[in-house]
Structure 1
Amino acid sequence: MVAVDHDAARPQLRAVREAVFIREQGVPAGIEIDDLDPRCRHVLARDRHGRPIGTARLAPDGRIGRMAVLPEWRGHGVGSALLHALLRIARGQGLSRVNLHAQAGAIDFYRRHGFVPVGPPFMEAGIEHQAMAQRLDRPVEVHDRAGAVAATVAVVAAARRRLWIHSRALDPGLYDHRRVLAALRRFATGGHGPQVRVLLHDALAAQRAHAPLIALGQRLPSVFAFREVEDPVDRDCPSALVANDAGGYFLRPLGHRFDGETEHHARARARQLSAGIDEVWERARSCSELRALSL
């Protein structure tokens, strides 16, 4: 994944964009090719033979666009690599905010990378789109269950090898949501020695509710570890958290609510929060009853 000069790489950029936007999606060439290109920062993905397989651009005002990956390379992490490269460039330029117009089918992809919808859907070039944005200078506010699900999925999806979950009783409506469970399952079965520490306040309540995350942990006991807080001071902590080892977190000051804040490139803050869980973890008791094959 490399940043490229527009003029030097124009044939390769055009090859990918014409294949995806013009031939595959039917976007008119007059719309796809514009005067903004020379003023944008471009990133290009190539295969091991040096052939272009994906590209995207960042406009001076922080607008991400022209995200295109050849069909045979979709689902292999190329799009995520392109997006992360542009976000690094944006932060390097000191931008406080980036935005984009996501095609309807790509909204979940951008949600997983920390973008939130802005306004209603609209039509652009004959295709339904959704405006989305991400703050780079401060946490993004989360206000409702949909936002909480999106923020949790994004933190889990970006994890490298470790996740920390702090919850009162595995939050019905959040950790039993199909998208959250699917993200946790992908992380847990993705190899590279994944580890998930789940710190609970009320293990019995989660057990009685037949929380699906417990069942997932039973199937993957080498990945998931469950403990319950015992110290009265720890039990008085009202917050809930999911954090990863890549600088992402979603913190809810009141754990029984869905609202909170999330960031995806805040390594110092994420380390501080996960270290706090580790401290409580050492004082907590192991939930051996959650290892049972039957609830």
Structure 2
Amino acid sequence: MSPLRVQQVSHAEAHVAIHDVRQRVFVQEQGIDAALERDALDPVCAHVLALDADGHPVGTGRLAPDGRIGRMAVLAAYRGHGIGEALLEALVQAGRQLGLAELHLHAQLPARDFYARQGFLPEGPEFEEAGIGHQQMRRRLQAVSAIDSRVEAVAITTAIIHRARRRLWLHSRQLDPGLLDAPPVQAALRRFVTARHDKQLRVIVHDAAAIASAGAPLLALFQRLPSVIQFREVADPIDRALASACLLNDAGDFYFRLIGHRLDGESAIALPARSQPFEQQLQRVWDRSRECSELRALGI
């Protein structure tokens, strides 16, 4: 894939490039009515454009004044190379510059996991728009979000793992069956721990023997990559009394549950000031806990 750049552009100056990409993706590829590709919002939206090494437009997206992200499109030949993620990140940054409190979007159903990996949480039922199934999704930029359902829990867990740079922290009494073994979460974990550059996942548990008996999927990864995944079991009586659970990364993202066996809790994306106290607490618990060397030899 040739080098490319993503930049914010004005509709007045770049409308030919913007609509060329949208026409090829939405109208020619997806069969959407050409009359729906353009609307009166285009001139007042913030637009981003992805250009290849020769300056040809290969992707685009827009941010409306009310915080709605839309018209996300990447040419078929350029998909799977991180262009959509770069476009979305540029739109998030545009939203921050505009002082927006949150962003929302209507995701085509096949793209839900893509937006979830970037911290957008699903809300409400699925619906149809322009003849295609969609899901409303939302990401807060300046505050925490409440997590109230398994769907939201899987989405935020996937996002935190996916967005981690070098380090992940996980405090879970028994590795959260039904959450950490969800397919999107497992895919994000495998991607994180098998990346070529140095990464580290620190896991704090309360009952290593019970986890060994259950044979959680994360243990298989631990056996394969013990230098990347480290397990410790709480030893201090104060730590053993902790009922909470927490997942956080080094990008300022966290998901905290006061009652660890339940999925409802609070989360945030890119809020390091809120994430840092949780990390400091987990570091103290880690330092007081014992290494679970016996888990390395499990026959799973």
Q: In the alignment, is the contact (CA less than 8 A) between 2:204 and 2:231 conserved in 1?
A: yes
Give distance in 2, aligned partners of 1:212 and 1:144.
Answer: 22
1:70 paired residue among 64, 70, 75: 75
Q: Deviations over 1:205-245 (max 9, x none)?
A: 11111111011111111210101111111112211111111
Q: What CA distance in whole angstroms lies between the structure 1 residues aligned with 2:169 and 2:124?
A: 32
* 1:206 matches 2:211: yes
Alignment of 1:1-295 (within 5 A): 1-294=6-299
Report the identity percentage: 54
CA distance in 1: counterparts of 2:292 and 2:61, whole angstroms = 47
Cα shift readout 1:80-115 (whole Å, capped 9, x = no counterpart) = 111111111112211112111111111121222222
Given that 2:113 and 2:184 are in contact with CA atoms closer than 8 Å, whether structure 1 keeps it comes out as no
Distance (whole Å) between structure 2 residues aligned to residue 205 and residue 57 of structure 1? 49
Aligned AA (2:21): V
Task: Measure how far apart 1:274 and its partner are.
Answer: 1.8
Q: Partners in 1 of 2:283 and 2:102 — Cα distance?
A: 32
Moved over 6 A (4+): none
Once residues 62 and 216 of structure 2 are traced to their aligned partners in structure 1, the CA distance between those partners, rounded to angstroms, is: 42
Within 1, Cα distance between the matches of 2:166 and 2:83?
A: 20
For residues 202 and 127 of structure 2, what CA distance do their matches in structure 1 show? Answer: 41
Shift of 1:184: 0.1
Deviation string 1:161-181 (CA, Å, 9 cap, x unpaired) is 111111101111112222211
Deviation of 1:126 (Å): 1.5
- Paired residue type of 1:258: L
| Range 43-52 or range 228-237, more displaced | 43-52
Higher mean alpha-carbon deviation, 60-69 vs 190-199, is at 190-199
CA distance in 1, matches of 2:164, 2:54: 29
Secondary structure of 1:110's counterpart equals helix
Superposition RMSD in Å: 1.4
Task: Tell me which amino acid in the other structure corresponds to 2:58.
Answer: I
CA distance in 2, matches of 1:78, 1:247: 23
Q: Between 157-166 and 41-50, report the one with greater CA deviation.
A: 41-50
Query: How far, CA to CA, are the matches of 1:53 and 1:270 in structure 2?
Result: 36
Distance 1:123 1:178 in 2: 25
State the match for 2:3 in structure 1.
Answer: none
| TM-score (ref. length: structure 2) | 0.94
Q: Is the 8 A contact 1:117 1:130 kept in 2?
A: yes
Q: For residue 293 of structure 1, report the CA deviation from its aligned partner.
A: 4.8
TM-score computed with the length of structure 1 as normaliser? 0.96
Structure 1 residue identity aligned to 2:260: G
Q: Contact 1:142–1:261 (CA<8 Å) still a contact in 2?
A: yes
Between Structure 1 and Structure 2, how many residues are aligned?
295
Q: 8 Å contact 1:245–1:271 — kept in the other structure?
A: no
